[in-house]
Amino acid sequence: MKLQVLLGAVCVIFMFSMIPTSSSHNIACYFASWAVYRNLSGTFDVYNIDPHLCTHVYFAFVELNEDGSLLILDKWESNDENDGGHYHGFRNLANLRKVNPELKTLVSLGGWNAGSKNFSGVSADPVKRQRLVQDSMRLIEKYNFDGFDIDWEYPTLRDKAHPEDKENFVELLKDYSAALKPRGLLLSAALAGAVDKIDSAYFVEQVSEYLDLLNIMTYDYHGAFDDFVGHVAPLHASPLDYQHGRNSTYVAATAVDYWIYKNADPSKINMGLATYGRTFTLEDKTNNQLYAPVLGPGPAGPYSGLKGSLGYNEICEHYSGSDSVYYWDDDQKVPHRVVDDTWIGFEDERSIGYKVDFAVSKGLGGLMIWSLDTDDFLGTCGRRYPLVNAVKDRLKYWESQEKK
């Protein structure tokens, strides 16, 4: 069995090695390391990554302890040398550069489930900050990564308010920058995509100064945490949004414009794209408009197993049949599907095209993808990675236009 897995991985890498890539824009792609435990065709590991698809690939996540030491969440999956792991996630990710030397590989710290408490305590203490930076540097050097990413969701918010987080986040970035930059390594961060969170969490100009890449999470604007229907990642506001307070600002275009307005360097910004949808169970299945009342999240998918969320691979394979109705919202420039009483807001190749066009028009550095493991990475519904490839194809179009 192990021999079959190894031979399969070699064949995949050989196939990918024949695909050339070149882009003047970033395509920064995260993958969730826990996807290795997903069911059936949802199982995803480093071997599934096309080394030529993205310009940057992030391993998500490692975490931090209260004392500032780095916490490897799953030694079995990542195969830290102190454990008899099988998947060798860290080492295999770094080894993708043997196939594509232009690829940058990074490790991401934090994530939503990490919360804010330990970030808040560590960033406030210079000694703990240095311990975290030093542990991070050892991990980077051990596995020959190209940089480090911080996903603190979010300074000053969650786990009780700590107003000083806003300043201490800058201090944390400053310490990381001082360690990484002299070695030619990258520092990036996943950052909020809602105006109210941006104002609360960041001194934008200083954050932009210390980071090489600003990965703006322009998604999760709506979901089962709401009591009404809303799209996960609208590009622009619907007329209905203006009737519901701040929801008119919960759109990707406004987030990007606001980061730029607050003096972030556009060339460092990667606008986020979600390869998953947010779902609702409609209170009345004859009313499936925006802001329709809901009973709660939609049903869990067969691979991700999460109520209220479906990967694009689950949507295209299991929710696109004859019982599914496709809708396009020309105001928000996004699609949704309705299957009986389930409402699914998601991205497709058409909506991705509009977002890439917007990013190019703003002079952004590129796009960020969360995440590789919920795209149709096996090509069950057509070509492999249709959403990420839609990004790549549209960027190639714009780059060809620039050469004319």
CATH of the domain at 36: 3.20.20.80
Assigned domain for 194 exists = yes
In this prediction, residue 81 carries a pLDDT of 56
What ranges in 96-232 are assigned the alpha helix state H?
117-123, 126-143, 165-180, 195-201, 204-210
In a domain, 260, yes or no: yes
108 contact partners, CB below 8 Å, separation of at least 6:
30, 58, 59, 60, 61, 62, 148, 149, 150, 151, 190
Residue-number span of the structural domain to which 130 is assigned: 24-274+348-402
Cis bond before residue 69 (omega within 30° of 0):
no
Residue 321 in any domain: the answer is no
Phi-psi region of 150 (alpha: psi -120 to 50; beta: other; left: phi over 0): beta
Whether the predicted pLDDT of 132 surpasses 80: yes
Q: So which residues are the catalytic ones?
A: 153
The total number of structural domains in the chain stands at: 1
Q: How far apart are CA 172 and CA 124, in angstroms?
A: 9
**pLDDT, average across residues 385-395:** 98
Ramachandran quadrant class, 326 (left: phi over 0; alpha: psi -120 to 50; beta: rest)? beta
Query: Taking phi first (over 0 means left), then psi (-120 to 50 degrees means alpha), and beta for anything else, what does residue 372 get?
Result: alpha
Q: Any idea which of 26-35, 79-88, 240-249, 352-361 has the lowest mean pLDDT?
A: 79-88
* Structure token pair of residue 35: 């996807």
12 or 53: whose pLDDT is higher? Answer: 53
With respect to residue 282, please indicate whether it lies within any of the assigned structural domains. Answer: no
Mean pLDDT of 145-159: 97
Identify the residue with better confidence: 86 or 58. Answer: 58
Is position 4 within any domain? Answer: no
Q: What is the pLDDT of residues 165-185, one digit of tens each?
A: 999 999 999 999 999 999 999
Is 315 within the bounds of a domain?
no
Range of weakest confidence among 76-85, 220-229, 289-298, 303-312: 76-85
Provide the pLDDT confidence category of residue 258 given band limits of 50, 70 and 90.
very high
**110 conformational bin, left if phi > 0, alpha if psi -120 to 50, beta if neither:** left
The pLDDT of residue 161 = 78
Determine the pLDDT at residue 78.
82
Structure-token match 């390594």, residue found: 185
Query: What is the C-alpha to C-alpha distance for residues 342 and 384, in angstroms, rounded to an integer?
Result: 26
- The pLDDT assigned to 61 comes to 97
Structure-block tokens of residue 356:
């890439």
Q: What size, in residues, is the chain?
A: 404
Q: Residue-wise over 359-382: b if at least 16 C-beta within 10 A, else e?
A: bbeeebbbbbbbbbbbbbbeeeee
**Domain-located, residue 369:** yes
Q: Exposed e or buried b for every residue in 55-71, given b needs 16+ CB within 10 A?
A: bbbbbbbbbbeeebebe
State the residue for tokens 């998500």. 60
For residue 404, what pLDDT band results from cuts at 50, 70 and 90? confident
Report pLDDT for 402. 86
Instruction: Supply the mean pLDDT for the chain.
Output: 93
Domain assignment present for residue 1? The answer is: no
